[in-house]
Amino acid sequence: MSAALTPRQAEQIIQSRVLRLAAETRALRDCVGRILRQDVLAERDNPPFDRVCMDGVAIDSRAFLQGRRQFRLQATQAAGSVALTLASADAAIEIMTGAVLPVGTDCVIPLEEYDLSNGTVTMGQDAVAEPWRNLQRRGSDSPPGVPMLTAGTRLGGAEIATVASAGLAHVVVSRQPRIRVISTGDELIEPGEPIADHQIRRSNAYGVVAALQSHGFEAVYDDHLRDEEALMRQRLGEHLDTHDVLILSGGVSKGKFDFVPSVLKQLGVEEVFYQVAQRPGRPMWFGVGPRGQAVFGLPGNPVSTLICLARYVIPALNTAMSARVPAVERVALAEPLDGRRMTYFMPVTLQFDATARMLATAHAPNGSGDFLALADTDGFMELPPQPQGYDAGFSADFYRW
């Protein structure tokens, strides 16, 4: 594959080669963050009855409109109780939020607009009574049988509540991908262990795992491989047998000890492309294993690693789970920037200006090893090649971490 791929071309190729994961049925309580693989239909009218939206008293609004301002308190009806029936037009029923509207009433007067004393409700001067005030009509949200959620939806709090309202204790969702994050290199030392001057901390893998977990991926494991070809062949083969996705950090370039591409080829992994016309992250590698496993070889520099993860890997994982693709955000530069001859991923922080327009302030790293520049940023802009520079207000695609 040509090295002149644009980021968009690389993305399209990856998306076209990622295998869709199987669906599974899980208990609703275990589905937070999962992707729906079924439509969720309304079990009945939503709400299923004329629902009271305020604590107060339920009355027949016609009596109020005819001039009545005092009502006899007939009874109290709580949420979850069978609907009472209004005895007469001069009666009122004390009612609680969420309760069924009593038969014969059509209006709820809130607590603030009346006094209750000795069983008599006296309306205040600011009381208002009109049909269906402080009520949610039956079926106003949705009728039965219509899709409330469709396949591809990510299940957050509101969505879980919606599924529960449909009466479903179990739901069909995408299986989580089994992901192995692999860092390579003899120079990498674990946090907490003694370190020599010529060594560096093994930080990339921690950042990749954390980023994946923050996006809801649960089956994420990591490994560290020394620069030994035989060891790599053994361990990478084991990981290919047991995982859906391998994400490698480092070892994909053309150096003497960059064994990863040749080892993957020996293991039957097809090299789909190597290098993308982008900075940082040009030496990115993508391949497909013999069973369709997605293999990402991310550059070893931390800025490149995290940017390529957000730009390509996480969207591919969402596609594998059949998630609905969200629209790409666009933001505008707060200040002008120097030009770039190649697509450039610029870390930025976001803020609103006085007109509520979202503006991005650039945080250019001091090279692709400057992971400190990414701290406290919101994501990065994808600036297209433009040697003449970018004016303040220039708009481009934005990707969140």
pLDDT tens track for 317-343:
999 999 998 899 999 999 999 999 999
- Fold of domain 329-400: Beta-clip (2.40.340)
Is 80 exceeded by the pLDDT of residue 352?
yes
**Which of the four pLDDT bands, split at 50, 70 and 90, describes residue 356?**
confident
Is 90 exceeded by the pLDDT of residue 143?
no
**Alpha helix (H) residue ranges in 179-228:** 204-214
Residues 21 and 291 sit within 8 Å (Cβ to Cβ) = no
How many CB atoms sit inside 10 A of residue 126's CB? 8
**Which of the four pLDDT bands, split at 50, 70 and 90, describes residue 159?**
very high
Percentage of residues of the chain with pLDDT beyond 70? 97
Span 64-69, mean pLDDT?
96
**Which of the four pLDDT bands, split at 50, 70 and 90, describes residue 254?**
low
**Which of the four pLDDT bands, split at 50, 70 and 90, describes residue 256?**
low
Q: What is the CATH number of domain 51-136?
A: 2.170.190.11
* Residue pLDDT, tens place only, 280-304: 999 999 999 999 999 999 988 889 9
**Which of the four pLDDT bands, split at 50, 70 and 90, describes residue 189?**
confident
The listed CATH number (3.10.20.80, 3.30.365.10, 3.90.105.10, 3.40.50.720) that belongs to domain 24-46+141-174: 3.90.105.10
Percentage of residues of the chain with pLDDT beyond 90? 79
User: Domain map of the chain by residue range?
Assistant: 7-21+176-320, 24-46+141-174, 51-136, 329-400
DSSP-based helix, strand, coil % in the chain, nearest 5: 20, 30, 45
Span 50-58, mean pLDDT?
97
DSSP 165: H
* Residue pLDDT, tens place only, 70-119: 999 999 999 999 999 999 999 999 999 999 999 999 999 999 999 999 99
**Residue indicated by tokens 């469709």:** 150
Span 206-220, mean pLDDT?
94
Is 80 exceeded by the pLDDT of residue 367?
no
Write down the pLDDT at residue 388: 96
Span 203-229, mean pLDDT?
91
Is 50 exceeded by the pLDDT of residue 395?
yes
Q: Classify each residue of 317-352 as buried b or exposed e, where b means 16 or more C-beta atoms within 10 Å of its C-beta.
A: bbbbbbbeeeeeeebbbbeebeebeebbbbbbebee
Q: Report the relative pairing of strands 379-383 and 343-352 from DSSP bridges.
A: antiparallel
Write down the pLDDT at residue 2: 47
Return mean pLDDT, the chain: 93
Write down the pLDDT at residue 252: 64
DSSP 398: E
To the question of pTM greater than 0.85 for the whole model, the response is no
- Fold of domain 7-21+176-320: Molybdenum Cofactor Biosythetic Enzyme; Chain A (3.40.980)
Q: What is 84-107 written as a DSSP string? A: PB---TTEEEEE-TTPBPPBT--E
175 by Cβ neighbours in 10 Å (0-12 / 13-18 / 19+) ranks as middle
Highest mean pLDDT among 74-78, 144-148, 187-191: 74-78
Cis peptide before 280 (omega within 30 of 0): yes
**Residue indicated by tokens 């039965």:** 144
Span 176-189, mean pLDDT?
89
